[in-house]
């Protein structure tokens, strides 16, 4: 028997990257997947490909940054699936740069999409998840373990998402609802496209993962309820150690930035070579 036979999963940010990879993995494990993202054409094309492959998939185009649209999204997912077993809060956005150079509406978007939307969606989904003793998987970042320069607001939302996860996991333990978080380092998706030069060197100091590798962590968290998984694991522990011991972070930071600078240059060269 497959791990998610007969279950319904709602995935945000599902049209590409980690969200798309998670949708495919869940579908192969027997889940009915409800796909949410802003881009209607791309989302419906993905749902069509999944149905052609023999999976149950439905597209519900939604901008999760519009908090007023989230009740309708949850209601539609429940209608399509006859209930809800899994919520994957994966949608994310970032605007990099010095804080004073980022427009207020862009800052608001980061907070709305990365933190407010997962909180509100989880709140709306909880009655249905309680009924089926389901699960929530939040996709955060190693930037939620150590702040990244020029990504202050993004880091703040990921710290917040991890804190929300840990607190709610305890709150819902007796209810049987699993609340977990995946914290990846850099992932080779379209998230960096168009602004690679702006990405801080430190981000590339950790090995690059694939979307499919992170999707596997999403599946594992949904299945066993382990509160957090990281990739790379060592990078997560080092990030936490550096955060707890600022003096150590200051010593390590120049070395990590040099390592990241070299890795970033190789990554940019490989992307240009592939284009």
Instruction: Assess if residue 237 is contained within a domain.
Output: yes
User: What is the per-residue pLDDT for 234?
Assistant: 60
Per-residue pLDDT reduced to its tens digit, 47-102: 999 999 999 999 999 999 999 999 999 999 999 999 999 999 999 999 989 999 99
Instruction: Assess if residue 13 is contained within a domain.
Output: yes
Coil/strand/helix, residue 137: strand
* Closest-CA residue to 64 (of 43, 45, 48, 84): 43
Q: How far apart are CA 204 and CA 135, in angstroms?
A: 31
User: What is the per-residue pLDDT for 247?
Assistant: 64
User: What is the per-residue pLDDT for 188?
Assistant: 78
Q: Give the tokens for residue 216.
A: 């596997």
Instruction: Assess if residue 2 is contained within a domain.
Output: no
- Strands 8-12, 86-89: pairing is parallel
Instruction: Assess if residue 3 is contained within a domain.
Output: no
Instruction: Assess if residue 249 is contained within a domain.
Output: yes
For residue 232, is the peptide bond before it cis, meaning its omega torsion is within 30 degrees of 0?
Answer: yes
Residue ranges, the chain, pLDDT below 70: 190-205, 233-254, 263, 267-275
Per-residue pLDDT reduced to its tens digit, 158-181: 999 999 999 999 999 999 999 999
Number of structural domains (the chain) is 1
Angle in degrees, CA 155, 104, 201, rounded to 5: 35
Q: Count Cα atoms within 13 angstroms, Cβ side, for 68.
A: 0
* Closest-CA residue to 199 (of 210, 188, 209): 188
Instruction: Assess if residue 1 is contained within a domain.
Output: no
What are the residue numbers of the active site? 154
Residue 22's CATH number: 3.40.50.720
Query: Domain limits at 137?
Result: 8-274
Q: How far is CA 219 from each of CA 38, 107, 138, 212, 216, rounded to the nearest angstrom?
A: 23, 31, 11, 10, 5
User: What is the per-residue pLDDT for 236?
Assistant: 54
User: What is the per-residue pLDDT for 261?
Assistant: 75
Q: Count Cα atoms within 13 angstroms, Cβ side, for 64.
A: 30
């Amino acid at each position: 028997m497959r791990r998610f036979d007969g279950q319904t999963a709602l995935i945000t940010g599902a049209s590409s990257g980690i969200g798309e990879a998670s949708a495919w993995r869940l579908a192969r494990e027997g889940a009915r997947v409800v796909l949410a993202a802003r881009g209607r054409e791309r989302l419906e094309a993905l749902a069509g490909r999944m149905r052609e492959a023999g999976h149950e998939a439905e597209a519900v185009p939604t901008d999760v940054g519009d908090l007023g649209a989230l009740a309708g999204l949850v209601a539609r997912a429940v209608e399509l699936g006859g209930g809800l077993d899994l919520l994957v809060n994966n949608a994310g956005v970032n605007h990099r740069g010095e804080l004073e150079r980022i427009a207020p509406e862009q800052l608001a978007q980061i907070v709305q999409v990365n933190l407010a939307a997962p909180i509100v969606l989880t709140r709306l989904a909880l009655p249905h998840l309680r009924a089926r003793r389901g699960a929530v998987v939040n996709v955060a970042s190693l930037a939620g373990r150590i702040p990244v320069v020029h990504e202050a607001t993004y880091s703040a939302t990921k710290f917040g998402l991890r804190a929300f996860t840990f607190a709610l996991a305890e709150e819902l333990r007796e209810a049987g609802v699993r609340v977990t978080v995946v914290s990846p380092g850099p992932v080779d998706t379209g998230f960096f496209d168009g602004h690679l030069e702006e990405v801080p060197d430190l981000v590339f100091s950790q090995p690059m993962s694939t979307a499919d590798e992170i999707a596997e962590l999403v599946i594992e968290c949904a299945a066993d309820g382990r509160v957090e998984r990281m990739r790379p694991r060592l990078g997560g522990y080092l990030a936490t150690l550096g955060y707890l011991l600022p003096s150590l972070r200051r010593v390590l930071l120049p070395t990590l930035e040099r390592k990241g600078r070299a890795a970033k240059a190789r990554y940019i060269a490989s992307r240009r070579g592939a284009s």
